Structure 1
Amino acid sequence: MRVMVLVKATADSEQGFSPTPENAAMLEAMGKYNEELVKAGILLAADGLRPSSDGKRIAFDGPGRSVIDGPFAETRELVAGFWLWEVKDMAEAVAWVKRCPNPMPGPSEIEIRPLYEMGDLQ
């Protein structure tokens, strides 16, 4: 089963990344965690996202399209980064997320969402 593991944005992540000793330690811990995911054969892709102020949204209404410039107001609804994993089931994904170092300087959340597989759509 493939899952998207979403690191939810925080006020800190929306300010953008700046190199600090605290961030360096967090990046090192996350690098080690990612190495464990690779060795376990779980990690398919991973990356961090720039703040929403660097982003755009495209709103669809019938044939019309509108471009909305960031930043976007509801930080708790934004994603700061992601992993794409191949796991045997949701329990395995939860177990791996519980091992993850905190991805933010303060309180944070990680969401796990299964991807549709071709069999789900037939």
Structure 2
Amino acid sequence: MRVMVIVKASKASEAGMMPSEQLLAEMGKYNEELANAGLLLAGEGLHPTSKGARVRFSGRQRTVSSGPFTESEDLIAGFWLWQVQSMDEAIEWVKRCPNPHEEETEIEIRPVFEADDFGAEFTPELREQEAHQRIRAEELRKAAKHS
């Protein structure tokens, strides 16, 4: 199963404060452990919401809001995407994570939908379309990397 591990933002991360050299080293070591265990699919830190935007959908209408956003308990500072055997395994790995902020924080773990989760509504044609999109996206990533 794939899970997204979401690092919640803090006041410091929203203020644009960069992590210390020590925390970067600890996170680097942790990420290496994840990679060596075959779990790490992706992982990145995010700029503060002051550099972001939101698009609100209401029917056909789209409204754009520029950051910063103030609901700090709902903001994200970074994420990982992991391939794990179970939610319990993901929880055990998160418990080993260095605290990503100098203040109290929270890390959320959410399962990623897999094709079978959608049932009959995800027809063979839609499955084929998604598989083609994934292959094409990977080809484009590889081509961009080599250019």
State whether TM-score is above 0.5: yes
The CA deviation at 1:18 is: 3.4
Q: Partner amino acid for 2:102?
A: P
| 1:74 equivalent in alignment to 2:44 | no
Q: Which structure has the greater CA radius of gyration?
A: 2
Relative to the length of structure 1, the TM-score reads: 0.95
Structure 1 stretches of 5 or more lacking a match? none
| 1:61 equivalent in alignment to 2:58 | yes
Match of 1:48 among 45, 48, 55: 45
Across the aligned residues of Structure 1 and Structure 2, the Cα RMSD in angstroms comes to: 0.8
Q: Partner amino acid for 1:121?
A: F
Percent of paired sites with the same residue: 56
Q: Secondary structure at the match of 1:57?
A: strand
Aligned to 2:135: none
Give CA-to-partner distance per residue, 1:44-96, whole Å, 9 cap, x none: 00000000000000011111101001001101100000000000000000000
Whole-angstrom CA distance in 2 between matches of 1:18 and 1:46? 17
Aligned to 1:2: 2
Whole-angstrom CA distance in 2 between matches of 1:18 and 1:81? 13
Aligned to 2:82: 85
Higher RCO (C-alpha 8 Å, min separation 6): 1
* Equivalenced residues, count: 119
Structure 2 stretches of 5 or more lacking a match? 120-147
**After the TM superposition, which residues 3-42 of structure 1 pair with which residues of structure 2 at under 5 Å, given as runs?**
3-18=3-18, 23-42=20-39
Higher helix share: 2
Whole-angstrom CA distance in 2 between matches of 1:28 and 1:116? 32
Q: Secondary structure at the match of 2:23?
A: helix
Whole-angstrom CA distance in 2 between matches of 1:8 and 1:18? 15
Runs of 4+ in structure 1 deviating by more than 6 angstroms, as ranges, are: none
**After the TM superposition, which residues 83-122 of structure 1 pair with which residues of structure 2 at under 5 Å, given as runs?**
83-122=80-119
